[in-house]
Amino acid sequence: MDEIEVDDPREGEVMIKLDATGLCHTEIWYMSGGDTSTRPNSILGHEGCGTVVKVGPGVTEFVEGDRVVPIYIPQCNHCRECLSGETNLCSTLDDAYFGGSMNDGSLRFHHHGQDLHHFMLTSTFSQYTVVHQEAVAKIRPDAPADAACLFGCAVTTGIGAALYTSKVKVASKCAVFGVGPIGLNVLQGCKLAGAEMVIAVDPNPARLQRAAEFGATHFVNPNDGDSVQQVKQLTGGGADYVFEATGNTKVMRQALESTIYGGGVCCLIGVAKTGETVEVTPRLLIAGRRLIGTAFGGARGKSQLPGLIDMYMDGKIKVDELITGKIPLTQINEAFEDMKRDSGYRYVVDYSL
């Protein structure tokens, strides 16, 4: 923990004062060098909620005082991807995302005269961050920050994987491999979509138990026998929708094998290490299965995230139950160590503590 300097926002940028930020496994993956582009001198964090405190010139969408969630997948509404209506993967800030900077390559964070990199467009592990206006969603002011921040990743990713990417149908049979914070949200997404059967697959009995509260109707522990066979048996041949939320490429393969032939969909969510591959037997796909993946649950942050927050405020989505502990920023490293041991779901840094 140290003091840094944060520059004022420039053209099209806003400065956000953060109230809360969640800790995600993606940061652990990044810090472990899972991504070959890992830059040690970065301000990490991508699951935040706060208030706009300064707007740069040319900012049209925000004014000071707006309550916001930074979104690591932006929404510009004019790039090829946004206009296609087929994907949420807006490309307008690709240079910033992959460069660990603002889109023109410049940096807004400094420490003792040295520039620091940005991370995932958001950099929420700092009380103040500077973000392009395309990477910010405006939310209702009455949503509590500790819950709202989790819509910046975990909640939207999991629920969106079911609702937006896979478009789970009513009365379908679903299975979710890995019921950590992401998987739990997939479970509640499947339930919201009206799935008839929702199977939680996880070797951790405590996590399986928790899954029931989030909509799981059946439970599979891989330690009790081959998880693919167990899912096939419960569903009578395979699930209509299978989600993988572990980041383990062997589990990704099992998830695909657990889908029903002639229409089953396997949706990958977990982030594997750079260079790791999933072995796919062509016959599985020829027999009508589809292997797809999702980033940020296929959600368009500006237009869909506020509606999900409304559902939480209306009591239709569980979020508070995901929070293992609220911590001051000084305890962030201990919280990450806990997450590596699989203890807890989401730690939230409360900047007022």
Ligand X SMILES: NC(=O)c1ccc[n+]([C@@H]2O[C@H](COP(=O)([O-])OP(=O)(O)OC[C@H]3O[C@@H](n4cnc5c(N)ncnc54)[C@H](O)[C@@H]3O)[C@@H](O)[C@H]2O)c1
Part of the chain binding Zn ion (CB under 5 A), chosen from 21-29, 96-104, 112-120, 295-303: 21-29
Report if residue 135 touches ligand X, rule: CB under 6 A: no
Q: Rule CB under 6 A: choose which of 31, 53, 284, 295 binds ligand X.
A: 295
Rounded distance between C-alpha atoms, residue 155 and residue 347, angstroms:
14
- 62: partner contacted, choices ligand X, Zn ion, none (Cβ within 5-8 A by kind): none
Name the residue nearer to ligand X (CB basis): 91 or 248.
248
Side-chain half-sphere CA neighbours of 331 within 13 A: 15
Rounded distance between C-alpha atoms, residue 58 and residue 104, angstroms:
16
- 203: partner contacted, choices Zn ion, ligand X, none (Cβ within 5-8 A by kind): ligand X
Q: Rule CB under 6 A: choose which of 99, 270, 298, 301 binds ligand X.
A: 270
Q: Rule CB under 6 A: choose which of 38, 51, 87, 204 binds ligand X.
A: 204
| Chain-centroid distance, C-alpha 219 | 24
Give the tokens for residue 305.
């995230």
Give the tokens for residue 116.
């620091």
Report if residue 26 touches ligand X, rule: CB under 6 A: yes
Question: Minimum distance between the CB of residue 58 and ligand X, rounded to whole angstroms?
Answer: 30
Q: Rule CB under 6 A: choose which of 15, 18, 21, 25 binds ligand X.
A: 25
Cβ(115)–Cβ(106) under 8 Å? no
Side-chain half-sphere CA neighbours of 214 within 13 A: 29
- 202: partner contacted, choices ligand X, Zn ion, none (Cβ within 5-8 A by kind): ligand X
- 22: partner contacted, choices ligand X, Zn ion, none (Cβ within 5-8 A by kind): none
SS3 70: strand
Q: Dihedrals φ, ψ of 209, to 5°? A: -60, -40
Rounded distance between C-alpha atoms, residue 317 and residue 301, angstroms:
17
- 245: partner contacted, choices Zn ion, ligand X, none (Cβ within 5-8 A by kind): ligand X
CA distances from 140 to 79, 108, 319 (A): 27, 27, 16
Q: Rule CB under 5 A: choose which of 14, 16, 20, 26 binds Zn ion.
A: 26
Burial of 315 (0-12, 13-18, 19+ CB in 10 A): exposed
- 164: partner contacted, choices Zn ion, ligand X, none (Cβ within 5-8 A by kind): none
Site string for Zn ion, 57-96 (x = CB under 5 A): -------------------x--x--x-------x-x----
Chain positions contacting Zn ion, by CB under 5 A: 24, 26, 76, 79, 82, 90, 92, 153
